[in-house]
Structure 1
Amino acid sequence: MDGVPECHLNCPHDHQRPYKQGSHGDGREELFNNSNQATSPTEHQSDLAFMEDCSNWDIVKATQYGIIDRCKELIEAGYDVRQPDKENVTLLHWAAINNRIDLVKYYVSKGAIVDQLGGDLNSTPLHWATRQGHLSMVVLLMKYGADPSLVDREGFTCLHLAVQFQHMPIVAYLVAKGQDVDAPDMNGQTALMMAASRIIGPEPTGFLVKLNASVNAVDKVHRNTPLHWAVMSGNVAALSVLLDAGANVELVNAMGETPLGLAQQNRNLWILRYLLDASIQRNRSHFVVKVLKIFEKYKLLLLFLMAVAVIWVTGYIADMESDSWLLKGILFVSAWLVIQLVIRRFITMQTYSYFPLAFLSASLFWMVITWFVRYLPDMPDSRFQIPFALSITGCIYYFYKTWTVGPGYLQVSEQEKNRTVVALAETDCLDPRAFCTRCLIRKPLRSKHCVVCDCCVVKYDHHCLWTARCIGALNHRYFVSFLFFLFTVVVWMGYGTVVYWSIHCSTSYEKDGLWIFLTEIISCSPWIIWIFLLVVFHSSWVTFLLLNQLYQIFCLGLTTSERVTLIKCARNGRHGGLQQNPFNLGCFRNMVDFFQCRCFGLFKPNQTDWTRQYNVGFEQPRTSEFQFV
């Protein structure tokens, strides 16, 4: 890629109608006509006649509509390109706010001042273009020497304006071109403080944190940190982002108030909860901190052991010889309270994502133990034992491969990120379809940003809760193999359970009916019932997931994310949905390519490097409309 990739996407361009005279780039401009409003043929003909009759227009109106011939005629006749109109707005301002690229080039060639101030807000043309989100205009003006660090009458630089109006591509471009992400405005506020105080939601706070904005900077007037501003504005999402980024909850402002003190005054329960948890984590005793560090280091092992203990305690209580259900109920409640105490004391929010993995691993552990302790004496024949041993071995091996190989995370250096941002912006392709605003990288075809892993994944399929891993180009086939062997394990466990009941329970459904049959098998061995419930639960999701994966891979040639995207697009009427798919090469070819089957050289699967594939022009049929996001 060399940091300067060629853009293969059909990037959208913003061709807007002109802004009315009297608007000064303050975000309140109105259009002469609503571009989204449907027009009748008569109205369209009137518009054409109106546009054709421009020989008497003044230069401001011609600039707003982008009538370059009329503008050139007036300039050649002696109109001074630097002359502002009666509202102190120059031609370059009007061209910039309406995204008239050719007119800006022409006016600059005729001596227009790139950083000339104008309008009520005393802004530059670059300010006006930034407010409206015209990235191509921002790039052009900066090529001509426009200074993005200049402030308008409100004290805002272009970076502050881009954040305020949430134009993230412009933010990325300005920072990549060397603008200080922590540069203060006239009031000493950084862009991160503005995002935390004015914009409800995690964006652009999270975006600025990705750009290494300081989470503990203070403003010049009130000495507030971004955390203070988030608390005062009630911005729970931004506050969560700042705390995850390591914001200090104990810093005080000029009034001696901490963020927690401000939250207590505002009485926002969610913010209070976040800040209290962060404060408790910071002020815990040395012993608890050491325990937490050990737990974090060995969290997977400890979670697995905890899940093993929970499953065993549940089955042990149910399998007790006591006939008192009251006693068993008290023991169940006591065990549940102990588990909740451990979770609240030692489990962090980030660790919750590993609970399904720990539960699945512990379930498999007790299934294997039950097989060899309870089922083996009843099925000593090797025709039962060898297939089960192969199934559990394959399950463990392919889970290990799924976990260790990884999905294929896209990671680049900071220098390459900046080069990519600049290159895409200057080719007018810094668009969410081609650029990830979270990772600040160019997205290859079929990749997607995983919100759980907070990273872009090559040929993203989905984030699997049961493996606590993303499924992508590198580990997808291992994941499907893991599902297959897990399916065979639960099938064998179900078969073993039926055999156990037929031998050890003196009742049957045909002889005694459903109710007596159920009560007898429960009293026969509550532990077996407990294991059977685990088998039923895991067999339900693994069967659905396996069949769904096989259908998508063999019949569609798609990932889960792509299939969902196409279904949504079809429902919205944007294109033909699953029928419009350039990756489906037929069932057999899809299988060969997915599993990379060679069969001693009989097959030659396609080997596509999805980390560097940016268009659909590679052996598959090409379609200009198809685009996965």
Structure 2
Amino acid sequence: MLGDMEGPGLGSQCRNHSHGPHPPGFGRHDICAHENKELAKARDLLPLIEDSSNCDIVKATQYGIFERCKELVEAGYDVRQPDKENVSLLHWAAINNRLDLVKFYISKGAVVDQLGGDLNSTPLHWAIRQGHLPMVILLLQHGADPSLIDGEGFSSIHLAVLFQHMPIIAYLISKGQSVNMTDVNGQTPLMLSAHKVIGPEPTGFLLKFNPSLNVVDKIHQNTPLHWAVTAGNVNAVDKLLEAGSSLDVRNVKLFLLLMLSVSTMWAVGYILDFNSDSWLLKGCLLVTLFFLTSLFPRFLVGYKNLIYVPAVFLLGSIFWIFMTWFVLFFPDIAGTPFYFAFIFSIIAFLYFFYKTWATDPGFTKASEEERKANIISLAETGCLDFRTFCTSCLIRKPLRSLHCHVCNSCVARYDQHCLWTGRCIGFGNHHYYIFFLFFLSVVCDWIIYGSFIYWSNHCATTFKEDGLWTYLNQIVACSPWVLYIFMVAVFHFSWSTFLLINQLFQIAFLGLTSHERISLLKQSRHMKQTLSLRKTPYNLGFTQNLADFFQCGCFGLVKPCVVDWTSQYTMVFHPAKEKVLRSV
């Protein structure tokens, strides 16, 4: 497509360019029919002229030579007069984003919704095809009608969808144009996107405005999903299915994944504990098992739900850890304080795992009216800042928040998306996450201790006499299952303890989240001066950091600072800290 015909940069001259002003409105899908003719016409319009007084009003409008246009209009030129292609001056000004000329022509009586060009379009249609949001805003402010249909049967929002101009889509909807408006064929913008635009956008973007998923067009009686399937638009099909999927179906899939994890872990232990001296046979069986289990989840739950594999593996591990403790270790420690301590630890772990998973981590919420008001305000002031506005959630982002692409939502005081819980960690559930890590470490520590007690009481070992290698062979021969559970416990103990120590260090000594810490470390690599992680507005000292995080006053010794990070945009939250960190 021909590019913008920008002004010459010299107040009194027209400049020859390699490509000309935009021809009478044509779209991507019909560019071939018009390309040669319009390119030739653009070249004919662009001789090198040193004096702007030689430019006619059409050419001066295309180049944005305001003084020349004003001179010709004041000399008697009718701004409503179209050229031989039935294109008005307002059309040429709109497609080349000449805001000052549009204002001038309208003040002189130009018709805002005048039809013209090969596609019988309005100036608003031309501006939308080229993606000029400032021009769209200006025309709408002067009464342009976005519901008018052009010669191809498209309204303004349909053109914005067809050309994938998401800011214009958002602005039009925010200004009141219906997301379910139909074109001449009865297609909604969502149908058009699913049918004509291959890829996830703008289908995914339109779904944020709650369009109808079940409405059908007038001619073929197809829903948006039918159109996506007809076009082979796989990404759009995924987006539409996800938007219409039931939460109950998702829960069933997660339950199946959990059952598969529990069964697979049992099968691994059974093969290892199988009464056979052939480790080659056991190895072949394990390889076959892993091959089969790597295929089943894709068919049972789909690729998107595979992100929950670590979480269900953890729950499966805890299930078999508990069963092993109850069946094998119980006789040796029944009635002792160790047994009750383990029961308390595993109950506490399950409780805090559930609280971490089920508690809202701090998803930022906004009503439809609030989102539209933000879009209009930012668009009309021209100050869209991606650090403070989320283009996915269409909301103003609170301080310290981040958009999680897994959860598809902005999370207040974002720390991380935890694979082991399948949930974001943020303002609402971060403290539960700390206790989850702590009690997981304790549970694994008890199972490690119980394993040594079991080997000591039930296996003939000669560690002191024959050394570690002989001891390992003896416990493997005695009970491969216990060694298997022991290794699982060691694995979970290792990562949970590491994360717990790291989290407590960040919270107590830095006052930062994991995301903020990583962001600052990345910034320091690109700066000559090293950034100090301890010198941030969020670090209020060891005691105050802990008191604020856990909201604990320590019997009145410390006064915790209460901050609602889901709605905090700029703030001074402590007398000693008056600056706000905006770079993380």
Bigger relative contact order, structure 1 or 2 (CA pairs below 8 A, ≥6 apart): 1
Cα distance in 2 for residues equivalent to 1:65 and 1:600: 73
Name stretches of at least 5 consecutive residues in structure 1 with no aligned partner. 1-14, 30-49, 248-280, 282-291
Partner of 2:360: 406
Task: Find the counterpart in structure 1 of residue 491 from structure 2.
Answer: 537
What pairs with 1:5-154 in structure 2 (closer than 5 Å)?
17-18=6-7, 20-26=20-26, 63=61, 72=70, 75-84=73-82, 88-154=86-152
For the aligned residue pairs, the C-alpha RMSD in angstroms reads: 4.4
Aligned counterpart, 1:614: 569
5+ long unaligned stretches in structure 2 = 8-18, 32-47
Q: Counterpart in 1 of 2:553?
A: 598
Letter in structure 1 aligned against 2:196: R
Q: CA deviation at 1:531?
A: 0.5
1:151 counterpart letter in structure 2: I
Give a deviation string over 1:56-84, Cα, whole Å, max 9, x none: 76655665565656655554454443344
Distance 1:246 1:479, change over 3 A: closer
Q: 197, 200, 224: which is aligned to 1:199?
A: 197
CA contact (8 A) 1:406 1:469 kept: no
- Partners in 2 of 1:352 and 1:360 — Cα distance? 14
Is 2:66–2:101's contact at 8 Å kept on the other side of the alignment?
Answer: yes
Question: Is 1:458 matched with 2:412?
Answer: yes
| Paired position in structure 2 for 1:163 | 161
2:318 maps to 1:364:
yes
Give the TM-score taking structure 2 as reference length. 0.77
Alpha-carbon separation, structure 2, partners of 1:128 and 1:556: 53
| Cross-structure match for 2:440 | 486
**Paired residues, what number?**
548
- Offset of residue 221 of structure 1: 5.1
Q: Counterpart of 2:400?
A: 446
- Aligned equivalent of 2:11: none
Out of 507, 515, 521, which is 2:475 matched to? 521
Give 3-state SS (helix, strand or coil) of 2:399's partner.
coil
Compared with structure 1, are the counterparts of its residues 347 and 198 closer, same or farther at alpha carbon in structure 2 (3 Å cutoff)?
A: closer
- Distance in 2, matches of 1:22 and 1:358, equals 57
User: Following the alignment from structure 2 to structure 1, what is the Cα–Cα distance between the partners of residues 256 and 531?
Assistant: 44
Q: Match for 2:241: what amino acid?
A: L
Change (3 A) 1:119 1:562: farther
**1:513 Cα shift?**
5.1
Deviations 1:209-246 (A, max 9, x none): 33333445444555554444434443211122233344
Deviations 1:310-346 (A, max 9, x none): 4344434433445566886798689779978986886
The letter of the residue matching 2:425 is: I
Match for residue 474 of structure 1 among 428, 432, 443: 428
Identity %: 56
In structure 2, give the amino acid aligned to 1:407.
Answer: P
Q: Is the 8 A contact 2:215 2:223 kept in 1?
A: yes
Output the CA distance in 1 between the equivalents of 2:99 and 2:513: 40
CA distance in 1, matches of 2:278, 2:77: 100
Q: Which amino acid aligns with 1:23?
A: P
SS of equivalent residue, structure 1 residue 128: helix
TM-score by length of 1: 0.72
- Residue correspondence of structure 1 range 24-423 to structure 2 within 5 A: 24-26=24-26, 63=61, 72=70, 75-84=73-82, 88-220=86-218, 224-246=222-244, 307-321=261-275, 323=277, 347=301, 352-371=306-325, 373-375=327-329, 384=338, 388=342, 391-423=345-377
Distance 1:170 1:555, change over 3 A: farther
Determine helix, strand or coil for the equivalent of 1:173: helix
Pair 111,362 (structure 1): closer, same or farther in 2 beyond 3 Å: same
